[in-house]
Structure 1
Amino acid sequence: MPKASRFKSKDGGCEKEEYVVHPGFTPARFNYSQCRNPGRRLIALLYARLGLHRYNFLRGKSLQLGHITQFTKTVHSAASAYNITLKAKDPQETSGRRSPYQTFKAQVNEKKYGRLVLVCTSSGPPGEPKKCTTVNKVAKFMPELPPVNPFQDDTDRFRLLKKSEVLKNEWIRLYLQLAVATSNRNHLEEGVANLKILKVAMEITPHLEEEEPFYKGLGAYDAIFYIRYKDPCKARAGDDVDRVAIVRRVVDVHLETFILVGRTQTLTPAPSNEIAAVEAI
């Protein structure tokens, strides 16, 4: 099979990773509506939503996904780079248009297969200028479950989100779905729509806390989200009823890179009556 060689180059003082594709090597192209692989369709859908989330986060927009038209994925390794073409609309800018939908492109790179290690390097309307897109050593951002329960800690280290905050910010559910889907690539037939969020706690990394007020809220550039949830899919969760997704978001607003890393695991066992008492969000 033809292969792609990777090398590093300098572009305006920024180190970039580029791929030289050997003759005969092309990324696999898929028409989304005709793709019959449920796992592949789900991953493409989640990555399209991630691309929109990155764009909205950096531009202060509220674009909504209409539908995906096509996508490509590299096939030289298990971890792939996805380029997705979709239609999106801005509910605040639809008046007077023949069609509220506009073409939108998103690129999402998997740095590891079977784990949540994603870098969204670009997303936006075709032709929008791209900035430096290289992110090295993404694994260094990987979060761990702290020794204290983030949902019961009485210090100021964690912020327990209100139910209204979780419902208002749909990207929190997206983070959970991405963590579960990327970590369970062989068990995606049931999808991730039925995941039930129980509690969400947030932690802002200490080195950013005092830099800008913007870092203190839900829009923090570097933050860890602890999402306690239930997964009805036995193939993924087994008998581990009480589970947590640990997702760290790292955003470089100058290079416009958007990183999500994390994992899912069992939470320290809690009494069964406590689990039953928690209302699903």
Structure 2
Amino acid sequence: MSQSCVRMEELDFFNFPEGFPPRRGGYGLIHVECGGGRAYPNSALVKFYAKLGLHRYNWLEGTNFELDSLMTFNIRSAASPYYITLVARLPSSGLQQIFQVLVEEERLGYLDLTCPISRPQATYQDRLVDWPSSIIPWLSYEIAFSDTKRFYMLNESELQCDWISLYVELAICTSHRKIKARDLSKFDLDIVQVAIESLDDKEPPSLMSRAAVIYIAYKDVVKSLRTGEPYHYQAVVRRVINEATGTLSIQGDCWIAAAATALADRGLRSSPTS
């Protein structure tokens, strides 16, 4: 799918300096330069938002770009669009390419994002508004991990798919916004089981389902080693990719399992991942 179908009013927001364009009330964009050892706000979030943009591009274009480095980003206060300029690299050839990524935060404190733009530099809405924010459903083990007609269960090799971990990391960072980039080294997540439910009655659930709910059971290896107790977590992410526009929307949350000993226990929402 071509990446050239972009609203013209979005194009310049990647390059505006701080304070421009003007906004009602006198508030403009905050321009942030990355790299060079600089400290900057929401450093962990920006990294994962950049990866989300590359995930969207790779999905639509059949490529395998990986994040190499962040260059700049522009944001506003509170829930904000993030206009990110980054350098991506193809592992097979080492080819580097500058990308522009737009990730829009729909709400604070939840995983609720829209990514309408991810494209090589110089070369639009399906949102998920009907999901209650107070309770995100977790299906019981008997349903989610055994009903193979309704759900697609990832095999062991598929559990290593990079976007599975990305979705979990995004859920953690959007719920705990004070996490910094240096804290990411403390993440050691062991993806245990994943079930995918298709939202399209005509499309069987699969790893490539464009409209799906993804149920993820995982462990925090670092916390388990530090405390000697198992830490089992659950995450639910709902993903929609609009075929006509290429817009990617995801919503979700993660929390510690009500009982830390078994995936078979019913997933009652408890305290969030800490």
| Superposition TM-score, scaled by structure 2 size | 0.74
Aligned-partner residue type, residue 145 of structure 1: W
Q: Is 1:164 matched with 2:152? A: no
Contact 1:117 1:139 in 2 (8 A): no
* 3-state DSSP of counterpart to 1:71: strand
Equivalenced residues, count:
236
Aligned counterpart, 2:12: none
Contact 2:233 2:257 in 1 (8 A): yes
Aligned counterpart, 2:58: 56
Matches within 5 A, 1:34-45: 34-37=37-40, 40-45=42-47
Aligned counterpart, 2:166: 174
Q: Structure 1 pair 240/141, CA: closer, same or farther in 2 (3 Å)?
A: farther
Aligned-partner residue type, residue 40 of structure 1: N
CA apart distance, 1:153: 2.8
Give the CA RMSD over aligned residues. Answer: 3.1
CA apart distance, 1:163: 1.9
CA deviations 1:149-196 (Å, max 9, x no partner) are: 5564355333321221122x2111101100111111234463375232
Please identify, of 221-230 and 53-62, the stretch whose mean Cα deviation from structure 2 is larger: 221-230
Aligned counterpart, 1:121: 116
CA deviations 1:86-114 (Å, max 9, x no partner) are: 111234565xxxxx212110000000101
| Superposition TM-score, scaled by structure 1 size | 0.73
Aligned counterpart, 1:219: 208
Aligned counterpart, 2:217: 228
Contact 2:219 2:232 in 1 (8 A): yes
- Alpha-carbon distance in structure 2 between the residues aligned to 1:82 and 1:192: 23
CA apart distance, 1:248: 1.2
CA apart distance, 1:23: 7.7
Aligned counterpart, 1:29: 31
Given candidates 241, 245, 266, the residue that maps to 2:256 is 266
Aligned counterpart, 1:241: 231
CA deviations 1:110-159 (Å, max 9, x no partner) are: 0010110000010111245xxx2x445x3324652124455643553333
CA apart distance, 1:219: 0.9
5+ residue gaps, structure 2: 1-6, 8-20, 266-274
- Alpha-carbon distance in structure 1 between the residues aligned to 2:62 and 2:218: 29
- Alpha-carbon distance in structure 1 between the residues aligned to 2:74 and 2:211: 29
